[in-house]
Amino acid sequence: MRALVLSVLLAQAALAQPGTGSSQPPTEYGPKPILAAPDESASKIKFAKMNPWPKGQTPKAPPGFAVTRLASGLTYPRWLYVLPNGDVLCAESRPGAEKPRPGEENSGASHVGERVSRVLLFKSKGDDQSPVTLLTDANGVDMPFGMALVGDHLYVASTADVRRFAFQPGQTKIEGKGEKILDLPGKGYHGHWTRNLLPAKDGRTLFISVGSASNVAEDGIGKEFRRANILAVDLDGKNERIFASGLRNPVGMAFEPGTGQLWTAVNERDEIGDQIVPDYLAAVTEGQNYGWPYTYWGTHPDPRHKDHTPESPIATPAYALGLHTASLGLAFGSSDEFPEKYRSGAFIGQHGSWNRSELVGYKIVFVPFADGRPSGPPEDFLTGFVADDASGATFGRPCGVTFTPDGSLLVADDAGGVIWRVRPASSPSQSSE
Protein backbone atom coordinates (compact mmCIF):
# COMPACT_ATOMS: atom_id res chain seq x y z
CA MET A 1 0.00 0.00 0.00
CA ARG A 2 2.82 2.41 0.87
CA ALA A 3 4.42 1.71 -2.52
CA LEU A 4 1.13 2.53 -4.27
CA VAL A 5 0.73 5.82 -2.38
CA LEU A 6 4.32 6.77 -3.15
CA SER A 7 3.79 5.99 -6.84
CA VAL A 8 0.69 8.22 -6.92
CA LEU A 9 2.54 11.09 -5.25
CA LEU A 10 5.47 10.84 -7.65
CA ALA A 11 3.13 10.73 -10.62
CA GLN A 12 1.37 13.86 -9.36
CA ALA A 13 4.70 15.59 -9.02
CA ALA A 14 5.73 14.59 -12.54
CA LEU A 15 2.51 15.90 -14.07
CA ALA A 16 2.22 19.12 -12.07
CA GLN A 17 2.67 22.30 -14.05
CA PRO A 18 2.16 25.89 -12.91
CA GLY A 19 -1.25 27.23 -13.81
CA THR A 20 -3.28 30.41 -13.64
CA GLY A 21 -6.76 29.45 -12.50
CA SER A 22 -6.53 26.31 -10.39
CA SER A 23 -8.12 26.28 -6.93
CA GLN A 24 -5.24 24.12 -5.69
CA PRO A 25 -1.56 25.13 -5.85
CA PRO A 26 0.46 22.95 -8.25
CA THR A 27 2.68 20.49 -6.43
CA GLU A 28 5.80 22.22 -7.75
CA TYR A 29 4.64 25.51 -6.29
CA GLY A 30 3.37 26.62 -2.91
CA PRO A 31 4.21 26.14 0.78
CA LYS A 32 4.15 22.32 0.69
CA PRO A 33 5.49 21.01 -2.61
CA ILE A 34 5.51 17.28 -3.27
CA LEU A 35 9.14 16.26 -3.62
CA ALA A 36 10.26 13.28 -5.69
CA ALA A 37 13.10 11.12 -4.48
CA PRO A 38 16.54 12.39 -5.55
CA ASP A 39 18.08 10.44 -8.44
CA GLU A 40 21.35 11.60 -10.01
CA SER A 41 20.86 9.21 -12.92
CA ALA A 42 17.55 10.93 -13.78
CA SER A 43 19.17 14.33 -14.31
CA LYS A 44 18.39 15.66 -17.81
CA ILE A 45 19.89 18.48 -19.83
CA LYS A 46 17.91 20.56 -22.32
CA PHE A 47 19.09 24.00 -23.37
CA ALA A 48 16.87 26.62 -24.91
CA LYS A 49 17.31 27.43 -28.60
CA MET A 50 17.62 31.20 -28.64
CA ASN A 51 16.15 33.15 -31.56
CA PRO A 52 15.72 36.91 -32.08
CA TRP A 53 12.35 38.32 -31.12
CA PRO A 54 10.17 38.33 -34.28
CA LYS A 55 9.47 41.84 -35.54
CA GLY A 56 6.50 43.35 -33.73
CA GLN A 57 6.24 40.49 -31.23
CA THR A 58 6.30 41.07 -27.47
CA PRO A 59 5.79 38.91 -24.39
CA LYS A 60 2.17 38.30 -23.41
CA ALA A 61 0.61 39.98 -20.38
CA PRO A 62 -2.90 39.46 -18.95
CA PRO A 63 -5.80 41.24 -20.67
CA GLY A 64 -5.84 44.96 -19.95
CA PHE A 65 -2.05 45.37 -19.98
CA ALA A 66 0.20 46.81 -22.68
CA VAL A 67 3.76 45.56 -23.27
CA THR A 68 6.28 47.87 -24.95
CA ARG A 69 10.07 48.14 -25.21
CA LEU A 70 11.78 50.62 -22.93
CA ALA A 71 14.97 49.67 -24.79
CA SER A 72 16.15 47.05 -27.27
CA GLY A 73 19.31 45.99 -29.05
CA LEU A 74 21.12 45.70 -25.72
CA THR A 75 23.87 43.25 -24.79
CA TYR A 76 22.73 41.08 -21.90
CA PRO A 77 20.73 43.57 -19.79
CA ARG A 78 20.52 41.58 -16.57
CA TRP A 79 19.51 43.79 -13.64
CA LEU A 80 17.60 47.06 -13.16
CA TYR A 81 17.45 49.86 -10.61
CA VAL A 82 15.13 52.86 -10.73
CA LEU A 83 16.34 56.20 -9.37
CA PRO A 84 14.00 58.52 -7.46
CA ASN A 85 13.58 60.78 -10.51
CA GLY A 86 12.45 57.80 -12.62
CA ASP A 87 15.69 57.32 -14.54
CA VAL A 88 16.51 53.63 -15.00
CA LEU A 89 19.91 52.04 -14.44
CA CYS A 90 20.62 48.77 -16.23
CA ALA A 91 23.56 46.46 -15.53
CA GLU A 92 24.74 44.80 -18.74
CA SER A 93 26.95 42.00 -17.47
CA ARG A 94 28.28 38.65 -18.61
CA PRO A 95 31.61 36.90 -17.82
CA GLY A 96 32.12 35.55 -21.32
CA ALA A 97 35.01 33.24 -20.38
CA GLU A 98 33.55 29.83 -19.54
CA LYS A 99 33.50 27.21 -22.31
CA PRO A 100 29.91 26.25 -23.21
CA ARG A 101 28.79 22.69 -22.65
CA PRO A 102 27.61 20.73 -25.74
CA GLY A 103 24.31 22.18 -26.91
CA GLU A 104 24.65 25.28 -24.75
CA GLU A 105 26.21 27.61 -27.32
CA ASN A 106 22.92 29.24 -28.39
CA SER A 107 21.09 28.93 -25.08
CA GLY A 108 21.36 32.49 -23.81
CA ALA A 109 23.07 31.23 -20.65
CA SER A 110 24.57 33.96 -18.48
CA HIS A 111 28.13 32.69 -18.88
CA VAL A 112 28.02 32.07 -22.66
CA GLY A 113 28.99 34.82 -25.09
CA GLU A 114 31.25 37.82 -25.32
CA ARG A 115 32.13 39.52 -22.03
CA VAL A 116 30.19 42.70 -21.20
CA SER A 117 30.60 44.88 -18.11
CA ARG A 118 28.86 48.25 -17.79
CA VAL A 119 25.97 50.21 -16.31
CA LEU A 120 23.64 52.09 -18.64
CA LEU A 121 21.25 54.95 -17.81
CA PHE A 122 17.88 55.54 -19.47
CA LYS A 123 15.89 58.73 -18.95
CA SER A 124 12.50 58.43 -17.31
CA LYS A 125 10.35 59.16 -20.37
CA GLY A 126 9.79 57.41 -23.67
CA ASP A 127 10.17 53.93 -25.12
CA ASP A 128 12.92 52.25 -27.19
CA GLN A 129 15.48 54.71 -25.94
CA SER A 130 19.20 55.09 -26.56
CA PRO A 131 21.11 54.85 -23.27
CA VAL A 132 23.93 56.80 -21.71
CA THR A 133 26.86 54.67 -20.52
CA LEU A 134 27.29 55.54 -16.84
CA LEU A 135 29.95 53.05 -15.64
CA THR A 136 32.44 50.72 -17.33
CA ASP A 137 35.56 48.73 -16.48
CA ALA A 138 37.41 52.06 -16.45
CA ASN A 139 35.42 52.94 -13.32
CA GLY A 140 36.62 49.77 -11.59
CA VAL A 141 33.42 47.78 -12.04
CA ASP A 142 33.82 44.14 -13.11
CA MET A 143 30.51 42.60 -14.21
CA PRO A 144 28.33 44.98 -12.17
CA PHE A 145 24.95 43.78 -10.97
CA GLY A 146 23.32 45.14 -7.80
CA MET A 147 22.84 48.92 -7.54
CA ALA A 148 21.47 51.14 -4.78
CA LEU A 149 21.34 54.88 -4.18
CA VAL A 150 21.84 55.72 -0.51
CA GLY A 151 22.11 59.41 0.30
CA ASP A 152 24.53 61.00 -2.14
CA HIS A 153 26.27 57.74 -3.09
CA LEU A 154 25.49 55.14 -5.74
CA TYR A 155 26.55 51.71 -4.49
CA VAL A 156 27.44 49.13 -7.15
CA ALA A 157 28.15 45.45 -6.46
CA SER A 158 30.47 43.84 -8.97
CA THR A 159 31.39 40.18 -8.88
CA ALA A 160 34.42 40.74 -6.58
CA ASP A 161 33.72 43.96 -4.70
CA VAL A 162 31.32 46.73 -3.72
CA ARG A 163 32.10 50.33 -4.67
CA ARG A 164 30.37 53.61 -4.00
CA PHE A 165 30.39 56.67 -6.23
CA ALA A 166 29.35 60.24 -5.49
CA PHE A 167 26.08 60.59 -7.41
CA GLN A 168 22.89 62.64 -7.66
CA PRO A 169 19.74 61.74 -9.66
CA GLY A 170 19.87 63.52 -12.99
CA GLN A 171 23.60 62.95 -13.31
CA THR A 172 24.62 61.19 -16.55
CA LYS A 173 28.36 60.72 -16.09
CA ILE A 174 30.60 59.30 -13.37
CA GLU A 175 34.34 59.89 -13.32
CA GLY A 176 36.92 57.76 -11.54
CA LYS A 177 36.76 54.47 -9.67
CA GLY A 178 34.88 55.68 -6.63
CA GLU A 179 35.63 54.07 -3.27
CA LYS A 180 35.93 50.32 -2.86
CA ILE A 181 34.26 49.56 0.47
CA LEU A 182 34.33 45.75 0.44
CA ASP A 183 36.06 42.86 -1.31
CA LEU A 184 33.88 39.87 -2.23
CA PRO A 185 34.64 36.33 -3.44
CA GLY A 186 34.52 36.64 -7.23
CA LYS A 187 32.67 34.73 -9.93
CA GLY A 188 31.20 31.28 -9.27
CA TYR A 189 29.26 28.35 -10.71
CA HIS A 190 27.73 29.33 -14.08
CA GLY A 191 25.66 32.42 -13.24
CA HIS A 192 26.65 32.64 -9.58
CA TRP A 193 28.91 35.63 -10.21
CA THR A 194 26.06 38.07 -9.56
CA ARG A 195 26.05 40.20 -6.38
CA ASN A 196 22.84 41.99 -5.51
CA LEU A 197 22.45 44.92 -3.09
CA LEU A 198 19.59 46.06 -0.88
CA PRO A 199 19.80 48.91 1.66
CA ALA A 200 18.25 47.94 4.99
CA LYS A 201 15.34 49.85 6.46
CA ASP A 202 17.59 51.23 9.20
CA GLY A 203 19.44 53.36 6.62
CA ARG A 204 22.80 52.18 7.97
CA THR A 205 23.18 48.68 6.55
CA LEU A 206 23.61 47.03 3.15
CA PHE A 207 22.47 43.49 2.42
CA ILE A 208 24.63 41.73 -0.21
CA SER A 209 23.73 38.43 -1.86
CA VAL A 210 26.62 36.10 -2.75
CA GLY A 211 25.90 32.83 -4.58
CA SER A 212 27.81 29.59 -4.19
CA ALA A 213 31.01 28.80 -6.08
CA SER A 214 29.68 25.37 -7.06
CA ASN A 215 26.54 23.30 -7.41
CA VAL A 216 26.73 21.46 -4.06
CA ALA A 217 30.24 22.21 -2.75
CA GLU A 218 31.70 19.44 -4.92
CA ASP A 219 35.07 21.23 -4.78
CA GLY A 220 35.06 21.28 -0.98
CA ILE A 221 33.25 23.45 1.54
CA GLY A 222 36.45 25.40 2.14
CA LYS A 223 36.00 27.10 -1.24
CA GLU A 224 32.56 28.37 -0.19
CA PHE A 225 33.81 30.85 2.44
CA ARG A 226 31.44 33.88 2.56
CA ARG A 227 29.33 32.30 -0.20
CA ALA A 228 25.76 30.99 -0.42
CA ASN A 229 24.94 33.76 2.02
CA ILE A 230 23.26 37.09 2.45
CA LEU A 231 25.90 39.32 4.01
CA ALA A 232 25.26 42.54 5.95
CA VAL A 233 27.72 45.43 6.25
CA ASP A 234 27.70 49.04 7.36
CA LEU A 235 27.52 51.64 4.59
CA ASP A 236 31.29 52.04 4.74
CA GLY A 237 31.81 48.27 4.30
CA LYS A 238 32.78 47.65 7.91
CA ASN A 239 31.30 45.23 10.45
CA GLU A 240 30.57 42.48 7.93
CA ARG A 241 28.45 39.62 9.25
CA ILE A 242 26.58 36.68 7.75
CA PHE A 243 22.91 37.61 7.95
CA ALA A 244 21.59 34.31 6.56
CA SER A 245 23.32 31.20 5.21
CA GLY A 246 22.70 27.98 3.31
CA LEU A 247 21.15 29.91 0.40
CA ARG A 248 22.63 28.46 -2.79
CA ASN A 249 22.08 31.51 -5.00
CA PRO A 250 19.90 34.20 -3.38
CA VAL A 251 19.73 36.80 -6.17
CA GLY A 252 16.42 38.67 -5.78
CA MET A 253 15.98 40.55 -2.49
CA ALA A 254 13.12 42.86 -1.51
CA PHE A 255 11.13 44.05 1.51
CA GLU A 256 7.46 43.09 1.68
CA PRO A 257 5.77 46.53 1.89
CA GLY A 258 3.23 45.77 4.62
CA THR A 259 5.52 44.09 7.14
CA GLY A 260 9.00 45.28 6.13
CA GLN A 261 10.15 41.64 6.12
CA LEU A 262 13.17 40.80 3.95
CA TRP A 263 12.41 38.18 1.30
CA THR A 264 14.72 36.50 -1.19
CA ALA A 265 14.27 34.40 -4.32
CA VAL A 266 16.70 31.49 -4.33
CA ASN A 267 17.97 29.47 -7.29
CA GLU A 268 18.37 25.91 -5.99
CA ARG A 269 20.66 22.97 -6.87
CA ASP A 270 20.98 20.86 -10.01
CA GLU A 271 21.59 17.29 -11.13
CA ILE A 272 19.43 15.06 -8.93
CA GLY A 273 16.44 14.72 -11.26
CA ASP A 274 13.71 16.47 -13.25
CA GLN A 275 11.36 16.66 -10.28
CA ILE A 276 13.71 18.07 -7.70
CA VAL A 277 14.79 20.58 -6.21
CA PRO A 278 12.35 23.55 -6.24
CA ASP A 279 13.57 27.11 -6.31
CA TYR A 280 11.90 29.11 -3.58
CA LEU A 281 10.88 32.28 -1.80
CA ALA A 282 12.13 32.70 1.75
CA ALA A 283 11.31 35.23 4.46
CA VAL A 284 14.77 35.78 5.87
CA THR A 285 15.65 36.72 9.42
CA GLU A 286 19.10 37.06 10.91
CA GLY A 287 20.87 33.81 11.78
CA GLN A 288 18.75 31.48 9.63
CA ASN A 289 20.40 28.59 7.79
CA TYR A 290 18.58 27.11 4.77
CA GLY A 291 20.68 23.96 4.52
CA TRP A 292 22.78 24.26 1.37
CA PRO A 293 24.72 22.18 0.43
CA TYR A 294 23.77 19.43 2.88
CA THR A 295 19.99 19.59 2.80
CA TYR A 296 17.22 21.03 0.64
CA TRP A 297 13.67 22.22 1.37
CA GLY A 298 14.32 22.10 5.07
CA THR A 299 15.96 18.93 6.32
CA HIS A 300 15.76 16.70 3.21
CA PRO A 301 19.31 15.31 2.89
CA ASP A 302 21.18 15.73 -0.37
CA PRO A 303 22.49 12.24 -1.28
CA ARG A 304 25.83 13.76 -2.28
CA HIS A 305 26.30 14.74 1.38
CA LYS A 306 24.51 11.84 3.03
CA ASP A 307 27.13 11.43 5.76
CA HIS A 308 26.95 15.04 6.94
CA THR A 309 24.72 16.16 9.78
CA PRO A 310 24.02 19.92 9.84
CA GLU A 311 25.27 21.60 12.99
CA SER A 312 22.52 24.20 13.31
CA PRO A 313 18.72 24.20 12.91
CA ILE A 314 17.62 24.32 9.28
CA ALA A 315 14.86 26.68 8.13
CA THR A 316 12.22 25.59 5.63
CA PRO A 317 11.43 27.97 2.74
CA ALA A 318 8.07 29.69 2.63
CA TYR A 319 7.02 29.01 -0.96
CA ALA A 320 8.26 26.74 -3.78
CA LEU A 321 8.71 28.42 -7.16
CA GLY A 322 8.90 25.39 -9.44
CA LEU A 323 11.63 22.93 -10.33
CA HIS A 324 14.71 24.26 -12.16
CA THR A 325 12.91 27.49 -13.08
CA ALA A 326 15.98 29.63 -12.23
CA SER A 327 13.94 32.11 -10.19
CA LEU A 328 16.14 35.19 -9.88
CA GLY A 329 14.18 38.46 -9.97
CA LEU A 330 11.93 39.67 -7.15
CA ALA A 331 9.74 42.76 -6.84
CA PHE A 332 6.69 43.33 -4.68
CA GLY A 333 3.64 44.97 -6.22
CA SER A 334 3.91 48.71 -5.65
CA SER A 335 1.88 50.22 -8.49
CA ASP A 336 -1.41 51.96 -7.82
CA GLU A 337 -1.91 51.79 -11.59
CA PHE A 338 -2.15 47.98 -11.51
CA PRO A 339 -5.44 46.24 -10.65
CA GLU A 340 -5.87 45.70 -6.92
CA LYS A 341 -5.15 41.95 -7.10
CA TYR A 342 -1.55 42.73 -8.11
CA ARG A 343 -0.84 45.23 -5.33
CA SER A 344 -0.19 42.59 -2.65
CA GLY A 345 2.20 40.00 -3.93
CA ALA A 346 5.54 39.18 -5.51
CA PHE A 347 6.56 39.29 -9.16
CA ILE A 348 9.26 36.68 -9.86
CA GLY A 349 11.61 36.69 -12.85
CA GLN A 350 12.17 33.08 -13.91
CA HIS A 351 15.22 32.87 -16.15
CA GLY A 352 14.38 29.34 -17.29
CA SER A 353 15.63 25.79 -17.00
CA TRP A 354 18.48 23.79 -18.51
CA ASN A 355 18.52 20.84 -16.09
CA ARG A 356 15.12 19.39 -17.00
CA SER A 357 13.77 17.30 -19.87
CA GLU A 358 11.28 20.04 -20.83
CA LEU A 359 11.76 23.79 -20.60
CA VAL A 360 10.16 25.42 -17.55
CA GLY A 361 10.27 28.98 -16.28
CA TYR A 362 11.02 31.57 -18.99
CA LYS A 363 8.33 33.90 -17.65
CA ILE A 364 7.26 36.26 -14.89
CA VAL A 365 5.00 34.70 -12.28
CA PHE A 366 2.92 36.51 -9.68
CA VAL A 367 2.52 35.07 -6.18
CA PRO A 368 -0.35 36.67 -4.21
CA PHE A 369 0.26 37.75 -0.62
CA ALA A 370 -2.05 38.42 2.32
CA ASP A 371 -0.94 39.58 5.76
CA GLY A 372 2.65 39.56 4.58
CA ARG A 373 2.72 35.90 3.44
CA PRO A 374 2.04 33.99 0.21
CA SER A 375 -1.68 33.33 0.08
CA GLY A 376 -2.49 31.32 -3.02
CA PRO A 377 -1.37 29.62 -6.21
CA PRO A 378 0.94 31.42 -8.65
CA GLU A 379 -0.34 33.16 -11.75
CA ASP A 380 1.54 33.45 -15.02
CA PHE A 381 1.90 37.20 -15.56
CA LEU A 382 4.29 37.63 -18.50
CA THR A 383 4.75 34.73 -20.92
CA GLY A 384 5.58 34.21 -24.59
CA PHE A 385 9.34 34.00 -24.14
CA VAL A 386 9.10 30.45 -25.54
CA ALA A 387 7.22 29.76 -28.78
CA ASP A 388 3.82 28.08 -28.45
CA ASP A 389 4.65 25.53 -31.16
CA ALA A 390 6.88 22.45 -31.02
CA SER A 391 9.94 24.25 -32.39
CA GLY A 392 11.44 24.93 -28.98
CA ALA A 393 12.35 28.44 -30.15
CA THR A 394 13.07 30.76 -27.23
CA PHE A 395 13.12 34.54 -27.71
CA GLY A 396 14.20 35.79 -24.31
CA ARG A 397 15.02 35.01 -20.69
CA PRO A 398 13.55 37.33 -18.03
CA CYS A 399 15.71 38.15 -15.04
CA GLY A 400 15.52 41.43 -13.09
CA VAL A 401 12.10 42.99 -12.35
CA THR A 402 11.29 46.35 -10.79
CA PHE A 403 8.64 49.07 -10.67
CA THR A 404 8.96 52.69 -11.82
CA PRO A 405 7.41 55.78 -10.19
CA ASP A 406 4.79 55.98 -12.96
CA GLY A 407 3.55 52.49 -12.04
CA SER A 408 5.15 50.45 -14.83
CA LEU A 409 6.73 47.05 -14.30
CA LEU A 410 10.12 46.74 -16.01
CA VAL A 411 11.60 43.37 -16.97
CA ALA A 412 15.22 42.81 -17.97
CA ASP A 413 15.27 40.23 -20.76
CA ASP A 414 18.99 39.51 -20.87
CA ALA A 415 19.16 36.92 -23.67
CA GLY A 416 16.67 38.90 -25.78
CA GLY A 417 18.55 42.16 -25.29
CA VAL A 418 15.37 44.04 -24.30
CA ILE A 419 13.98 45.93 -21.31
CA TRP A 420 10.22 45.35 -21.40
CA ARG A 421 7.73 47.81 -19.90
CA VAL A 422 4.37 46.45 -18.71
CA ARG A 423 1.55 48.76 -17.66
CA PRO A 424 -2.23 48.92 -17.79
CA ALA A 425 -3.41 49.81 -21.29
CA SER A 426 -5.43 52.70 -19.85
CA SER A 427 -2.50 54.11 -17.85
CA PRO A 428 -2.01 57.90 -18.25
CA SER A 429 1.68 57.21 -18.95
CA GLN A 430 0.63 55.59 -22.23
CA SER A 431 0.16 59.08 -23.63
CA SER A 432 3.93 59.65 -23.56
CA GLU A 433 4.39 57.32 -26.54
Q: What is the 3-state secondary structure (H, E, C) of the chain?
A: CHHHHHHHHHHHHHHCCCCCCCCCCCCCEECCCCCCCCCHHHCCCCCCEECCCCCCCCCECCCCEEEEEEECCCCCEEEEEECCCCCEEEEEEECCCCCCCCCCCCCCCCCCCCCEEEEEEECCCCCCCCCEEEEEHHHCCCCCCEEEEECCEEEEECCCEEEEEECCCCCCCCCCCCEEEEECCCCCCCCCCCEEEEECCCCCEEEEEECCCCCCCCCCHHHHCCCCEEEEEECCCCCCEEEEECCCCEEEEEECCCCCCEEEEECCCCCCCCCCCEEEEEEECCCCECCCCCEECCCEECHHHCCCCCCCCCCCCCEEEEECCCEEEEEECCCCCCCHHHCCEEEEEECCCCCCCCCCCCEEEEEEEECCEECCCCEEEEECCECCCCCCEECCCEEEEEECCCCCEEEEECCCCEEEEEEECCCHHHHHC
Domain boundaries, the chain: 43-432
Q: Is the entire prediction scored with pTM above 0.85?
A: yes
- pLDDT, tens digit, for every residue of 248-287? 999 999 999 999 999 999 999 999 999 999 999 999 999 9
**Stretch 192-196: mean pLDDT, rounded?**
97
pLDDT at 23: 37
**Stretch 12-30: mean pLDDT, rounded?**
49
Query: What percentage of the chain has pLDDT greater than the value 90?
Result: 82
- pLDDT, tens digit, for every residue of 46-103? 999 999 999 999 999 999 999 999 999 999 999 999 999 999 999 999 998 778 888 8
- pLDDT, tens digit, for every residue of 123-132? 977 777 789 9
Report whether pLDDT(12) > 70. no
What is 43-432's CATH number?
2.120.10.30
Residue 193 banded pLDDT, cuts 50, 70, 90: very high
Residue 428 banded pLDDT, cuts 50, 70, 90: low
pLDDT at 8: 32
- pLDDT, tens digit, for every residue of 322-379? 999 999 999 999 889 999 999 999 999 999 999 999 999 999 999 999 999 999 999 9
- pLDDT, tens digit, for every residue of 145-188? 999 999 999 999 999 999 999 999 999 999 999 999 999 999 99
